[in-house]
Structures are given as structure tokens and as C-alpha cells.
């Protein structure tokens, strides 16, 4: 391990993640029916406050969608998350679901009856291909569970496949592209059912923001640098003595 790596470890120990703020959708209109085979979909809104415009955040989205009547299918779903800052600007979008499971050999996507999941960049696998993972699970209602990476495929939902290119910006980039602007304001969840057959409803959703690698105060940073530098100098002197 070289001196630069040791210094980086010292900085990591002095920073790291801190508080997490979670915002739950409390709209009395939920659960909200998702129109079958209708690209106009539904829109649900969260108002986010108390985030620091100068801080970088990681974001997780919890999403609960279930089938109604004779049930719906995960492969029918398209969903995205969008943000609008308090002043009405900074409208950005990230694709959460884009017909999960849809491929050249499975044109209707997966037929699981809804989902109750968390979407996070820190997850190991892409939600679009969750059945490729041997340990994927469904609950007693047949809905997908677990934590997954957002789909991020910008392709047309009518033609998207597992081979479609995923957008380069990650889920967290949606939030951190707002810094040093303002991640507070309105966050919109759009959900549409793109395929005929089976109906679904949005039961609930929430956003959790966790602070990422806050930069220490200048005085603390200088102190840390001094401590790490002293340790490296001492190590160097010991090596010379041995020599």
C-alpha cells in the first residue's frame, strides 16, 4: 500500500455517510389504479424538504405495486422518477422500470404479479433481468421482492429489450447533478402499464436520501493530513534505521 492509498484511507475514515432522510408518499389517493395498456399512466408526487443543497446524496426508492382483479404483470410496467426544484427549474428524469424481462425471446417480459422492491445503485443486479439471478424471490402474492438497480434503459417501451443500452448517468447522478443547486422540491413518480391484460395499482412509494462523503472542515482536514503525514514520515525513518 503506497502513501497516497494510506492518505485516501485516512480521508475515508474521517468522512463517510451520515444521516438518512426518508420521505413517504402520504397521498390519500393511494392506492391508485394504473390504467391497463395506457401510456398516459399515473403520476404521484413527493415533496422533499430539509436536504442540504451543498451535500451529495445517494438515493433509494421503495416501490410497491400489486396486481388487481386477475392480476397484472411486471413486464407490462414502465416507470420513471423526475425532479423539479422549488423554483420550478431543474427538471430531470431517471428510468426505474422499462418492461422488466422483455427480450427478443420474451416479448411480453416477466409475468410476476407486481413488485415490492427497493431500487438502488448499490444493488448487485439490474431489475430488468432479475430472473437471471438464481436467488430472486417473490412474496406470498407472487410479487418480486429485494433490492435491485434501476432499469435505466431509455429505449421505447414497445421495443426495449435486455440488450438495449442503459443510460450512462446512474440513479444517484439524478440527485447529485442538482448539487450545488437544490435537490429539494417536487419528486414525481410516473408509472404506466404498456401491455393489454391484467391490471395493477400503485400502493406506496418512498425516497430515502443518505449523505455521501461529506468534506471535513478545513481545520479537521489539515489535522488529518498532518497525522497521516507524520505516520508516513515515522514509517520512512524506521525503514532508514533498519537499513
| Residue-wise pLDDT tens digits, 102-151 | 999 999 999 999 999 999 999 999 999 999 999 999 999 999 999 999 99
Average pLDDT over residues 21-40: 85
How many Å apart are CA 202 and CA 200, to the nearest integer?
A: 7
Look over the chain and give the mean of its residue pLDDT values, rounded to a whole number: 79
Instruction: Give yes or no for residue 1 having a pLDDT over 50.
Output: no
Q: Hey, is 122 helix, strand or coil?
A: coil
DSSP 131: G
- Structure confidence at residue 175 (pLDDT): 76
Q: Full-prediction pTM beyond 0.85? A: no
**Torsions phi, psi for 154 (to 5 deg):** -90, 5
- Structure confidence at residue 198 (pLDDT): 86
DSSP 124: S
Non-local CB neighbours of 243 within 8 Å, separated by 6+ positions: none
29 or 211: which carries more pLDDT confidence? 211
Angle (CA) 89-149-125 rounded to 5° is 165
Q: Are 18 and 190 in contact (CB under 8 A)?
A: no
Amino acid at each position: 500500500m503506497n502513501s497516497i492509498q494510506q492518505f485516501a484511507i485516512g480521508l475515508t475514515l474521517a468522512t463517510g455517510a451520515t444521516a438518512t432522510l426518508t420521505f413517504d408518499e402520504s397521498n390519500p389517493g393511494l392506492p391508485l389504479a394504473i390504467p391497463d395498456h395506457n401510456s398516459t399512466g399515473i403520476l404521484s408526487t413527493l415533496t422533499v424538504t430539509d436536504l442540504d443543497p451543498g451535500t451529495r446524496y445517494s438515493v433509494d426508492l421503495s416501490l410497491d405495486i400489486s396486481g388487481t382483479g386477475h392480476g397484472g404483470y411486471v413486464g407490462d410496467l414502465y416507470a420513471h422518477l423526475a425532479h423539479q426544484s422549488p423554483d420550478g427549474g431543474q427538471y430531470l428524469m431517471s428510468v426505474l422500470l422499462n418492461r422488466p424481462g422483455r427480450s427478443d425471446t420474451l416479448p411480453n417480459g416477466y409475468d410476476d404479479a407486481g413488485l415490492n422492491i427497493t431500487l438502488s445503485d448499490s444493488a448487485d443486479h439490474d431489475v430488468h433481468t432479475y430472473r437471471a439471478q438464481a436467488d430472486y424471490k417473490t412474496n406470498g402474492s407472487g410479487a418480486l421482492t429485494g433490492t435491485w438497480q434501476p432499469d435505466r434503459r431509455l429505449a421505447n417501451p414497445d421495443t426495449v429489450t435486455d440488450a438495449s443500452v442503459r443510460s450512462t448517468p446512474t440513479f444517484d447522478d439524478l440527485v447529485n447533478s442538482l448539487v450545488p443547486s437544490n435537490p429539494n422540491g417536487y419528486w414525481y413518480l410516473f408509472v404506466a402499464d404498456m401491455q393489454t391484460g391484467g391490471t395493477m395499482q400503485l400502493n406506496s412509494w418512498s425516497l430515502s436520501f443518505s449523505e455521501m462523503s461529506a468534506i471535513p472542515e478545513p481545520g479537521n482536514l489539515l489535522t488529518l493530513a498532518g497525522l497521516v503525514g507524520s505516520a508516513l514520515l515515522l514509517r520512512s525513518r524506521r525503514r532508514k534505521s533498519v537499513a
